[in-house]
Structure 1
Amino acid sequence: MRLTYFFFRPLVSAAHGWVAFDLGTRLEEKLGSQDIVRCLREANAGSLASVHPLIIASKPAWLEQAELREALKPNQAIFMLPPAALDDEKVLATSKALLADGYHIGITIADKDMVRRVPRLSFDHVAMTAALARDELTTSGSGYFSDLGFRKIATEVTTHEMYGWISAHDFAASHCGFLAERNPAGGRQPDLARLKLLKLLSIVEHDGDTREIESIFREEPKLSYNLLRLVNSVAVGARTRISNFSQAIAILGRRQLQRWLQLLIYANNLAEGNHPNPLMQLAATRGRLIELLCKSINSPSGTAERCDNAFMTGLFSLLDVLLNMPMPEILKELPLQEEVVAALADPENGGILGKLLSIVAHTEKGQFGRASLLLDELDISPDTHAAAQVLALHWAARINIDSN
């Protein structure tokens, strides 16, 4: 039996935090509810849905199938129905009953004529493309749903400008493929604080002298504060209070210090403002997912070193967006392994790591057909892929930069 590749993607709120995940597959796939149930169970998707709910595109008939409804708890799923469901009285009655029982049911809005026909007693969520919401529904049409208490979900949000509009019009969740693109309104100056952090990371990765590492920490008060806070945290478990840099570095160890710095690059406490940086979770997901998929590939060179390189490839793949610099310029400053450089410089032709990076990039953009072809080419099974996504997203969703 041929299995289907499923793809999990995070959705963000207007405050930039993750609030849901959607479950997608290639448009040409002919699915039954049993396929989705199998994926959810084999991938242990309930662990992910316990953090944020899963949005599951559903056929109306599936609502009557207890196996699908019971695969997750009522508050862990949003069953999203197609526009045609609005014309079926039986479906509306079923939706109404499930909504009363605590389930979440949504409907996809296809055009402006649907707006005032959606019964609030049968649905609590509506989904629409960002272009439809902005260009056809106008503020009044979109506001109508908000006034009645519907939670609005924006799909196909492809630009930062479009996300800005969505955020200003009371949408609860938004697709976030735009995050991987540089923001034209983000200014032209590179981020000097993060460039210094990259220099520090390079020294650590090449087993540089501890005194050289200490000197950079002394130049950066916020960085010093975060390091000492980390080593004195419960997560690290130091028995006595650590107050100097050499002790802190020794307790953490070079490997843990390296991974902490890799994540810290994306933390907003290195820049002005206190808003969460959505790039951090996305980059962390990329790194962890590529690392997990790399471990599953039967390759003579599938060593621990390659898996470390896989994590670094995913994590660093958004540095051009973060630093507002072209990737070739960044690669000149970072003495990385050759296969990491090849993957970051030209993913489509960058070997195994480049192909893995292409898979996650295609997934974020909703290009599931392209991602499926690459997964099949690398002989990564649908079950392995789904489980790796759940693990990576669950890990990234719970990241606390001060304790990792």
Structure 2
Amino acid sequence: MRFDFFRRASEGAGAETDASTQPEAGCEGHLAYAMLLDAQRRVIGYRMAWRAAGAASDASGAAGVKALMDTLAMHLNPGDEGWLLGSQLLFVDVTVDALFQSELQSLPPQQVVLCMRADELMDADLRSILLFLREQGFGFMQCAGTVLPEDPELRSIVTHLEVGANDVDTVARLRQDAQLGHPPVEPVASRVEDWIEFDACASRRVNVFIDGAFRNPPVLETEDALQPESLLIVQLMQMLQRNEDLRVIEAALKHDAALTYRLLRYINSPAVGMAVEIHSLRHAVAMLGYSPLYRWLSLLLATSNKAGSPYMMKKAILRGRFVELVGQGMLPASEADNLFVAGMFSLLDQLLGVSMEGVLRKVQLTEAVQQAILSRGGLYGPFVALAESCELDDGQAARLSEALFLSPAQVNAAQLSALVWAQGASPAASEQ
């Protein structure tokens, strides 16, 4: 059963948490998010929701929004570090009570869009607080209604409008209103059923919220569909697994100067965090060792499909990092790179456009990693299953995290830390 991302509450059972990392007693729950994609399928923002543990009620809904804001501020806007998601926007579904909560001020107004129903935005009693928050820089997305307020003052509050995937007339009206001098209102589509509807939105320059259930079109069944760069990366990974002589590995890498550049540029990126600049593969191995280098090659493999979707690349990187983070402290440090690979490679067929069986015939992985990828079994499988459940928002995250002795607060921290890490983790991003 699929759960609607945009509902305000959800069922589920939470695990015990450390009070120092969970916002408030009685508000235990899990984060859920959808990605905001532009016409090029690039992730430009997120829509966050809170899945409170236990039976939902109006009171727990208000408390849940508070818990969500506390959690977001703690991990995305901590102290002197500032906003860690860069230029990306954060859409947050809020209740009327949330507008008066001090926790709202812990988020950067220019990066936050508050999502509210049309009747709430048009409530005369709320006008003063809405105008105050808009003046501070907060955006507002009007949900559940395509007719904007007639009152110019109220209309000026709305910065985004939730539209249907096929709502051509509303999008055209917004564009026309902007040309007539009205404050611009950005249409944003939600509940898009498939990539065909997504492309229809993209053709009208409408950004789209995508949930974790979205997949790329069916993959090819032939293993020969791997692109030349992908094949070379696979060859290098196999050499590392066999602990072949470094000179042989260097010779193979020299066949592709562009790949060498991408690898070294990535290893020197902030995401890797090396203290010194790496100038050669030999230097990289000396500083990192074979196992971490295998990890970075696996990330390059995931982003080597030139026709691949930036959305799928970001999703794979996020999953790999999340799986790695939730497994830290539970498995030996030597397993960290395998956790990352297991998480990311569980989406490799979608990234490369090749069946998983075809990929595994080319890429020699350990039995534990293969079990995690194919059946969510083995040593790493439960961590991959938890990542998948969080993405799908299927109501199973509480049960799966409890089985791993992970608190909701730990899972939420890992999700948000992965979002931050992924900002500069893509090899493509490191080249810009």
Provide TM-score, normalisation by structure 1: 0.82
Counterpart among 4, 29, 46 of residue 4 in structure 1 = 29
Whole-angstrom distance in 2 between the partners of 1:197 and 1:279? 19
What SS class does the counterpart of residue 257 from structure 1 fall into?
Answer: helix
- Deviation, 1:384, is 1.0
Unaligned 5+ runs, structure 2: 1-24, 179-183
What code does the residue aligned with 2:30 have? Y
Counterpart for residue 103 of structure 1: 138
Alignment of 1:329-340 (within 5 A): 329-340=358-369
Determine if the alignment matches structure 1 residue 387 to structure 2 residue 413: yes
Counterpart for residue 35 of structure 1: 67
- Deviation, 1:142, is 1.9
Taking structure 1 as reference, are residues 146 and 90 closer, same or farther at Cα in structure 2, changes over 3 Å only? farther
Alignment of 1:55-94 (within 5 A): 55-65=91-101, 67-94=102-129
Counterpart for residue 322 of structure 1: 351
Q: Is the 8 A contact 1:231 1:238 kept in 2?
A: no
Q: Is the 8 A contact 1:79 1:104 kept in 2?
A: yes
**Number of residues paired by the alignment?**
382
Counterpart among 325, 347, 352 of residue 292 in structure 1 = 325
Counterpart for residue 48 of structure 2: 23
Q: Is the 8 A contact 2:160 2:186 kept in 1?
A: yes
Counterpart among 202, 214, 218 of residue 238 in structure 2 = 202
Q: Is the 8 A contact 2:38 2:208 kept in 1?
A: yes
- Deviation, 1:183, is 1.9
Alignment of 1:161-172 (within 5 A): 161-172=196-207
Taking structure 1 as reference, are residues 191 and 277 closer, same or farther at Cα in structure 2, changes over 3 Å only? farther
- Deviation, 1:141, is 1.2
What SS class does the counterpart of residue 69 from structure 2 fall into?
Answer: helix
Whole-angstrom distance in 2 between the partners of 1:231 and 1:64? 45
Determine if the alignment matches structure 1 residue 398 to structure 2 residue 430: no
Whole-angstrom distance in 1 between the partners of 2:267 and 2:375? 37
Q: Is the 8 A contact 2:320 2:344 kept in 1?
A: yes
Taking structure 1 as reference, are residues 186 and 335 closer, same or farther at Cα in structure 2, changes over 3 Å only? closer
Q: Percent identity?
A: 23
Whole-angstrom distance in 1 between the partners of 2:122 and 2:87? 34
Whole-angstrom distance in 2 between the partners of 1:21 and 1:264? 24
Whole-angstrom distance in 1 between the partners of 2:119 and 2:268? 57
C-alpha RMSD of the superposition = 3.3
Counterpart among 371, 378, 388 of residue 361 in structure 1 = 388
Q: Deviations over 1:181-217 (max 9, x none)?
A: 2325999872222133123212213322223322321
Q: Is the 8 A contact 2:165 2:190 kept in 1?
A: no
Higher RCO structure, 1 or 2 (CA under 8 Å, sep 6+): 2
Taking structure 1 as reference, are residues 197 and 82 closer, same or farther at Cα in structure 2, changes over 3 Å only? same
Q: Is the 8 A contact 2:263 2:300 kept in 1?
A: no
Q: Deviations over 1:26-83 (max 9, x none)?
A: 3864322432233234445554455523211101232122x13212121132111134
Q: Is the 8 A contact 2:216 2:350 kept in 1?
A: yes
Q: Is the 8 A contact 1:45 1:390 kept in 2?
A: no
Whole-angstrom distance in 2 between the partners of 1:334 and 1:206? 12
Q: Is the 8 A contact 1:310 1:353 kept in 2?
A: yes
What SS class does the counterpart of residue 271 from structure 1 fall into?
Answer: coil
Whole-angstrom distance in 2 between the partners of 1:116 and 1:266? 46
What code does the residue aligned with 2:140 have? I
Counterpart for residue 310 of structure 2: 277
Counterpart among 395, 398, 401 of residue 372 in structure 1 = 398
Whole-angstrom distance in 2 between the partners of 1:186 and 1:125? 39
Unaligned 5+ runs, structure 1: none
- Deviation, 1:392, is 0.8
Whole-angstrom distance in 2 between the partners of 1:296 and 1:156? 38
What code does the residue aligned with 2:259 have? L
Provide TM-score, normalisation by structure 2: 0.77
- Deviation, 1:115, is 5.6
What SS class does the counterpart of residue 36 from structure 2 fall into?
Answer: strand
Q: Is the 8 A contact 2:349 2:359 kept in 1?
A: yes
Q: Is the 8 A contact 1:105 1:125 kept in 2?
A: yes
- Deviation, 1:246, is 4.7
Determine if the alignment matches structure 1 residue 217 to structure 2 residue 244: no
